[in-house]
Amino acid sequence: MTQEWAQVAGRASEVLQGFATEANGLQQRASALEGQASRLQARLLRSSLLSSGGGEGPSFEDDALRREIEIHNGDVMTLESRWQDLEQQTAAEIDSIAGGGGFQDQIPVVSSAGADTDSAAFDAAGGSAGMDRFGARGLLGAGSLGFAFHSAVNQMIRSGNDSGTDDAVETATELYETVTSDDVTGRDLSAFYDHLGDMDADDIEEFSEANPQINQYSMPLPTNEDQLKSWPTGADGAAWWETLEANGTQVAMATFLPLVTGNTNGVPYTARNVANRRSLTQLLDADDLQRNQRVRLESIEQSLKEGGGERVLLSLNMGQEPVSRGRGPGPAPTDPLAAVSVGNPDSADTTTFNVSGMGSGTDAMPSEVGNAQQLYNGSRRDTSNEHAVVAWIGYESPGLKTVFRDEHAVDGSWALAYALDGHRETMDAHREDGGTRVNVNAHSYGTNTAARALTHTTHPVDTYSMYGSAGIPEGVAQHASDLNVTTTDEGRPAVYATDASTDWLSDVGRSPGVRQDPTDTGFGAYVFSSDGMGHPPGYPVSGHYQNFAAAEEYGYLERDSQAFEALSLINDGRGDEVDEMTDATVEYYQDLFDRHVEEVANNPGRQVTAYRVELGGQSEQVDTRGEAVKLVNEYYADKDYCPAPEGP
C-alpha cells in the first residue's frame, strides 16, 4: 500500500468512525421510539379515535393521546432528517478524500431492530390506517411504521416563524421568572397566563423544555388578603381555558405544562385531573426527588387507586422552588399537598370539602381519601342528587408541639379560601344552571383553618360543620354569623357543631380566652349530638378521632356513629332533620338513659361489665354503654321531644 493510499485510508477511517458514533446514538433513539410507538398503539386501540360514527366526539383524554401521537411523529421526522443529513455529510466527506477510494460502500443503513412487520399507522385527520412513508430504504427500513404514524399528522408539526417562536418563549420565560419571585402580584400572574394563552403548541413545548422547573414546582398561591383579592379568579381561568380551546392549544398546555393546567382555578376538574395525574407520573419518574416528596407523591398515587367512586386529583401543590440564601445547600423542598375528590365536582349537585386537622397530611393520603369516601357513601343515600366529597389536604397541619399556635391555620386559610371561591366560579362558568351546593366539614385543628377561610371568601358556602373542634380563635369569629355561610329558613347561619363527651383532646385545644368552643350556646351554631342523643340515631363517638381501629369504638366519620349520620343529613341539605342539642335536651336524654338502663356486674365486687336495657316491657343486655345509649335513642327517635318523659 502506498503512503498516499495509507493517508486516504486513515482519513476515511476517521470519518467512518465519527459516522459510527453518531449513528449508534440514532439507532438507540430509533429503538426507544419503536417502544414508544407500541405503547401509543395500545392506547390508540383502547380510545375512541379509531371508531366511526357520531357520538359525542373524542374526550379530553383522546385529544391528549392525539397530541402525543403528533409529538411522536415529529420526533420520527427529526430523527429521519438527521439520518439523511448524516448520510449525505459522510458520503461527501468520503468522496472528497482522493475520490473516495471505494469507501462509499462502507456507509451502512441503520434499521430499527425487530421492525420486520408492518403496523397500522394512524391518520389524525381521518382516523384511518396509513402507508409506510419512509419507503424501502428509509431510516427504519421496510415496514417500519411500528413506530411511525401517518404523515397527515406530521404536517401539523413544527410550522410557523422560528424567530417569532423564540420571542414568545423568551417573553414567557421572563414572565415566569417574575411570577416565581418573592414579590409576585396578581397582575404578574394574569400577564403570564395571558401570554401562555397566545402561544402556539410549539411555543408551549419549547418553553417547557427551556424551563423544566415549571413541571417540578407549583405556581404560587395567595398568602394574604391583598393577594387573594388580586389573584386570577375562577372566572379568569375559565376564560383562559376557552382561549386555549379557540387556539387549539388545550391539549398542548395539559401535555407540556400539566402542573400549571392542573392547578388553575376555572379549568374543568376533569381536565385538571388528567393534567395532575400526568404531573404525578412525571414527578415519580424523576431521579432527583427528595425522600419527603417521593413518600407523599406515592401516597397520593395510592389514594387514587383504592376504594369505590371516581377519584379525581383536583390539585397537586409541589410548593415553590427552594432558594439558597447563603452558603451551603439550600432548604429542603416542602411536602407536596393535594386535594382528591371522591366523585366528580364537574357533574356533582353537591360538593363537600373535608378539612382535616392535627397530624393530617399527604403522607397518609389513602386514609384521608378514605374519610372522604365514608362521607361520599353516606351522601349516596340521597339518590336524587350527585355528590362529590373532597379530601382537602392543601395546607401543612400542625403536630402536637405546634397545635396551640395558629400559623398553620393562617397559612392554610388563604389557600382554602382560594379553592372554595375557585370552585364556585368554575361551576358558574361551565354549568348552565350554575347551581351547585357547597359544604365545608372540618375536624379538630381544621376547624380553625376553615373558619378563617370563611372570613376571607367572596362566595358563601351552603353549610359549615365542625366536629371535634380544637376551638375558633376569638379574633377570627365571635359568632357563627361572622362566617361567610348562607342562612337557614330560620334566619340563622347554617353552621353546625358537635363534640363528643369522650373527646378530651378537643377540650385541650380550646384554651379559655384564646379559642372558643363552637358548641357553646353563645357562638350561635346548631349543636348536634355525638353521644347518641336525639335524631338521627347512631352510636356514641368514642373519642377525638375520625376513625378507630377497634370494632366496638366509633370515630366521628365511621358509619353508624351518630356524628356520621348527622353529617350525612346536613351535607344532603337536610339539616332540619338533625335534632339541636341544648342544656334542656341533653338533660332530657340523660334522664331517659338513667330510667331505662341498669349497670350490671356479672360478679360481685367486679367493675361494670354489661348494661341491662328495659324498653316497652322488653329486657336486653348489651356489653357497652354505647350500645345501650343507641337502643334507648332508637326507641325514642320517632317520638316527639318531651321534657317530662313518661315511664317505661
pLDDT in tens, 88-114: 887 777 777 655 455 455 545 444 333
30 vs 454, residue with greater confidence: 454
Confidence bin at 645 (pLDDT 50/70/90): very low
Confidence bin at 641 (pLDDT 50/70/90): low
**Given this model, what pLDDT does residue 599 score?**
85
**Given this model, what pLDDT does residue 115 score?**
37
Residue 418, in any domain of the structure: no
Total domains in the fold of the chain: 2
**Given this model, what pLDDT does residue 410 score?**
96
Backbone CA torsion sign across 126, 146, 67, 57: positive
Last residue of a domain, one of 154, 172, 202: 154
pLDDT in tens, 405-417: 899 999 999 999 9
Residue 528, in any domain of the structure: no
C-alpha to C-alpha distance for 11 and 160, rounded to whole angstroms: 41
Confidence bin at 600 (pLDDT 50/70/90): confident
415: cell is 389557600
Average pLDDT over residues 303-312: 84
**Given this model, what pLDDT does residue 20 score?**
76
Average pLDDT over residues 596-602: 82
Amino acid at 582: T
360: cell is 393530617
Residue 570, in any domain of the structure: no
Residue 531, in any domain of the structure: no
Average pLDDT over residues 539-549: 84
Confidence bin at 434 (pLDDT 50/70/90): low
**Given this model, what pLDDT does residue 203 score?**
96
**Lowest-pLDDT range of 430-434, 442-446, 499-503:** 430-434
174 burial class (0-12, 13-18, 19+ CB within 10 angstroms)? exposed
445 vs 1, residue with greater confidence: 445
Q: Which pTM value belongs to this model?
A: 0.74
Last residue of a domain, one of 154, 183, 198: 154
Confidence bin at 150 (pLDDT 50/70/90): very low
pLDDT of 185 higher than 70: yes
27 vs 173, residue with greater confidence: 173
519: cell is 358548641
Q: Which of 332, 328, 323 is nearest to 295 (CA)?
A: 332
Average pLDDT over residues 301-306: 90
pLDDT of 197 higher than 80: yes
387: cell is 355528590
* Range(s) of the domain holding residue 625: 585-636
Average pLDDT over residues 8-21: 74
DSSP alpha helix (H) spans, 117-185: 151-154, 162-179
Residue 255, in any domain of the structure: no
Residue 606, in any domain of the structure: yes
Q: What percent of the chain has pLDDT over 70?
A: 80
Last residue of a domain, one of 138, 154, 170: 154
Distances (CA, A) of 34 to 114, 130, 276: 9, 17, 27
**Lowest-pLDDT range of 110-119, 368-377, 502-511:** 110-119
**Given this model, what pLDDT does residue 112 score?**
39
Residue 437, in any domain of the structure: no
Q: What is the mean pLDDT of the chain?
A: 82
**Lowest-pLDDT range of 188-192, 515-519, 604-608, 631-635:** 604-608
pLDDT of 140 higher than 50: no
**Given this model, what pLDDT does residue 147 score?**
31
- DSSP E strands, 187-297: none
Residue 413, in any domain of the structure: no
pLDDT of 605 higher than 90: no
Average pLDDT over residues 52-76: 71
**Given this model, what pLDDT does residue 134 score?**
28
142 vs 9, residue with greater confidence: 9
Cβ-based neighbours of 249, under 8 Å, separated by 6 or more: 197, 199, 200, 201, 204
